[in-house]
């Protein structure tokens, strides 16, 4: 008997093929396509990351535009100067010259442990004028030199009716001009009484308050504003030496200082923080 090989299971008489590997017949083609497919995946991932990054940058830009605007130091100074300069126009006259002003005589001048609180009452507010109509002497020369734009005056009387005072506010070109004027008016250590033109008020204790009645003057500055106040007697008394009555001289000086300080607090009030809400250009 001759041994005959059994037929292969694949139906051919040849040797059985290695079909157990499970690899496709076009393995070489797959091998050639696989690097391209991987490259496309890398490129797609890169594009996605770049797109997300761009979106994030855009979102940051939008958020930055929505944040309050940041001003440079120079811009801050310019804005603050502009805000201060417009106060005399934007504030009502009653804010600069209130109906009543408090002041105090130091207790040390009264041989007391406490100050004496007093008040002055507004008699009238004059019309806004040119500066030469509101000041005299050295003040007139300085205000002309430093380009004073306008002046305002008001007259007050103390609670006893014995003392009167005129308060004057002059609008200079800027803070530097105001400081220069203050320095020249107060540099000698005392302020001349011959600076403010008094504002008389008929049928009041200030009816006889003229230039000859000016006894003491106080000065201060706030931004571009020069503030002067002169005080004297309500009975028309000409200038006298106040050294013989220290209390009277102190009370008169306190009245003039109280009026100056009142206007200084209003005109020199600190500005709120500069914030520009919204997008640029607000």
Q: pLDDT digits over 229-270, tens only?
A: 999 999 988 887 776 677 888 899 999 999 999 999 999 887
pLDDT(280) > 60: no
- Asked if residues 226 and 181 have their Cβ atoms less than 8 Å apart, the reply is yes
Block residue for tokens 């009975």: 235
Range of lowest pLDDT (70-74, 140-144, 162-166) = 70-74
Which pLDDT band holds residue 136 (cuts at 50, 70, 90)? very high
CA 136 to chain centre: 32
**150 pairs with which residues across the strands?**
171
Range of lowest pLDDT (97-101, 111-115, 203-207, 210-214) = 111-115
Q: What is the DSSP string of 20-34?
A: GG---TTHHHHHHHH
Which pLDDT band holds residue 274 (cuts at 50, 70, 90)? low
Predicted local confidence at residue 114, as pLDDT? 85
pLDDT(66) > 60: no
Predicted local confidence at residue 112, as pLDDT? 80
- Six token digits for residue 20: 């157990």
- What value does the mean pLDDT take over residues 42-62? 61
The structural domains of the chain, with segments of one domain joined by +, span 33-67, 75-267
Coil, helix or strand at residue 215: coil
Predicted local confidence at residue 34, as pLDDT? 55
pLDDT(279) > 90: no
What rounded mean pLDDT belongs to the chain? 80
pTM of the model: 0.70
- C-alpha closest to that of 183 among 172, 191, 174: 191
CA 182 to chain centre: 22
């Amino acid at each position: 008997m001759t041994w005959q090989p059994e037929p292969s299971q694949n139906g051919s008489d040849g040797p059985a093929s290695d079909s157990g590997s499970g690899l496709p017949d076009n393995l070489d083609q797959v091998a050639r396509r696989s690097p391209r497919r991987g490259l496309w995946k890398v490129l797609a991932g890169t594009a996605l990351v770049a797109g997300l990054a761009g979106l994030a940058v855009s979102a940051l830009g939008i958020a930055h535009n929505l944040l309050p605007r940041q001003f440079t130091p120079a811009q801050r100074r310019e804005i603050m100067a502009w805000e201060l300069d417009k106060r005399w126009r934007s504030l009502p006259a009653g804010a600069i010259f209130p109906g009543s002003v408090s002041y105090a005589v130091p207790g040390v001048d009264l041989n007391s442990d406490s100050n004496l609180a007093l008040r002055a009452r507004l008699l009238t507010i004059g019309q806004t004028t040119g500066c030469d109509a509101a000041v005299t002497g050295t003040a007139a020369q300085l205000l002309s030199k430093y380009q004073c734009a306008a002046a305002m005056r008001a007259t007050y009387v103390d609670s006893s009716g014995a003392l009167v005072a005129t308060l004057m506010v002059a609008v200079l070109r800027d803070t530097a001009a105001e400081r220069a004027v203050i320095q020249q008016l107060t540099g000698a250590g005392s302020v001349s009484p011959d600076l403010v033109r008094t504002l008389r008020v008929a049928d009041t204790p200030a009816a006889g308050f003229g230039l000859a009645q000016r006894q003491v003057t106080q000065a201060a500055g706030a931004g571009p504003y020069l503030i002067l106040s002169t005080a004297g007697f309500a009975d028309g008394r000409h200038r006298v030496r106040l050294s013989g009555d220290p209390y009277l001289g102190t009370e008169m000086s306190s009245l003039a200082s109280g009026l100056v300080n009142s206007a200084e607090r209003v005109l020199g009030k600190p500005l709120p923080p500069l914030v520009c809400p919204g997008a640029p250009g607000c």
